[in-house]
Amino acid sequence: MGEPIRVLVTGAAGQIAYSLLYSIAKGDVFGKEQPLILVLLDITPMMTVLEGVVMELQDCALPLLREVIPTDKEEVAFKDLDIAILVGSMPRREGMERKDLLKANVKIFKSQGAALDKYAKKTVKVVVVGNPANTNCLIASKSAPSIPKENFSCLTRLDHNRAKSQIALKLGVTANDVKNVIIWGNHSSTQYPDVNHAKVNVKGKEVGVYEAIKDDSWLKGDFILTVQQRGAAVIKARKLSSAMSAAKAICDHVRDIWFGTPAGEFVSMGVISDGNSYGVPEDLLYSFPVVIKDKTWKFVEGLPINDFSREKMDLTAKELTEEKETAVEFLSSA
């Protein structure tokens, strides 16, 4: 066993973290040989609840977990980090405008970005989950100028997994039989789930999803809407937002950063758009298809984009540009 790595989870007393922490601590993400120090950050009123989470982690009696550090202080939380998983954010309250939500979150992610800049390792990998995830991630990155922009990503893997599983359900195959779906753009209802380049294994033969499903109107209609609105559907049914599936997606996202993507497969994550070849404006945190090797992601290049896709990709880029402009205004006053 090597040296332990330091992993921060924010919003650590919340329900996504409750599903996430056990998976990380038992070795599902960084492997069964990698010892861990888990740092748990939440707001002061949640400290008592967080103590309960710490007790439970201790009671799991996990061999990889060397230390658990609960805190409400950024200077403790962000110190010497290898990985930061920023789950905590200001949730949208009833009757709250998206603008108010952005303003509250700019404050949080400006502060956490500055703390990363000041206390974390310069090699830290930062994954933003708290919504609006793309813009929160961009703000954190802009507030941490000494950490490479490429080290920041936001979670669109949940959308990616939702798309994968909808295709699998439709064809009666397992999710493992479906690969290379893409989520373009914002982790919002304007995201574009694209299966033009996706492949599915049907009876041992790999075919394109469009060819396998033979129902273009479903793929261009209900399929896209189902994926875009799945989060709202879960809230409507459970009266709580997705937690188990979100935690699983975070594990997938971070594991792929750590160990790389399988040969011939790509995944979706929100990354800085600089240098992309898909006509997405620079300086946006936009979800792209990527491959990962040696903890470094690269855009998947050269995928042909049809007119239907172009329109959807531009629409979500427009929303992200507007979000960014609003957030950057708040940033100077935050």
What is the pLDDT at residue 97? 79
Residues 145 and 199 in one domain: no
Within a domain: residue 197?
A: yes
Residues 96 and 193 in one domain: no
Residues 263 and 183 in one domain: yes
CATH number of the domain to which 202 belongs = 3.90.110.10
What is the pLDDT at residue 95? 77
Which member of 160, 187, 197, 253 is catalytic? Answer: 187
CB proximity list for 9: less than 8 A, separation 6 or greater: 17, 20, 21, 24, 38, 39, 40, 41, 85, 87
Within a domain: residue 333?
A: no
Q: Report helix angle 133-142 to 307-333, nearest 10.
A: 50
What is the pLDDT at residue 36? 98
Within a domain: residue 164?
A: yes
Within a domain: residue 314?
A: yes
Residues 101 and 29 in one domain: yes
- Secondary structure letter of residue 105 according to DSSP: H
Q: Which of 106, 125, 154 is the last residue of a domain?
A: 154
Within a domain: residue 300?
A: yes
Active site residue 160: no
Give DSSP secondary structure letters for 168-188.
Answer: HHHHT--GGGEE--EEEB-SS
Within a domain: residue 221?
A: yes
**Which residues line the annotated binding site?**
42, 92, 98, 105, 129-131, 162
Residues 11 and 148 in one domain: yes
Nearest to 257 by CA among 286, 287, 299, 293: 293
What is the pLDDT at residue 268? 98
Residues 255 and 135 in one domain: no
Positive/negative CA dihedral, 233, 100, 93, 18: positive
Is the overall model pTM greater than 0.85, yes or no?
A: yes
Q: Which of 133, 154, 175 is the last residue of a domain?
A: 154
Residues 310 and 167 in one domain: yes
Within a domain: residue 334?
A: no
Q: How many domains does the chain have?
A: 2
Residues 236 and 271 in one domain: yes
Residues 137 and 96 in one domain: yes
Question: 27 is in which domain, residue-wise?
Answer: 5-154
**Which residues line the annotated binding site for NAD(+)?**
42, 105, 129-131
Residues 175 and 143 in one domain: no
Within a domain: residue 331?
A: no
**What is the C-alpha separation between 3 and 58, in angstroms, rounded?**
20
Q: What is the mean pLDDT of each run of 10 residues along the chain (334 residues)?
A: 95 97 98 98 98 98 98 98 97 79 94 98 98 97 98 98 98 97 97 98 96 97 97 91 96 98 97 98 98 98 98 98 95 80
**Which residues line the annotated binding site for substrate?**
92, 98, 131, 162
CATH number of the domain to which 77 belongs = 3.40.50.720
What is the pLDDT at residue 333? 81
Q: Which of 124, 154, 184 is the last residue of a domain?
A: 154
What order of strands is seen across the sheet that includes strand 267-272?
A: 65-71, 36-41, 5-10, 83-86, 125-128, 152-154, 267-272, 285-293, 296-299
CB atoms within 10 A of CB 66: 15
What is the pLDDT at residue 334? 63
Residues 144 and 230 in one domain: no
Residues 141 and 172 in one domain: no
What is the pLDDT at residue 254? 98
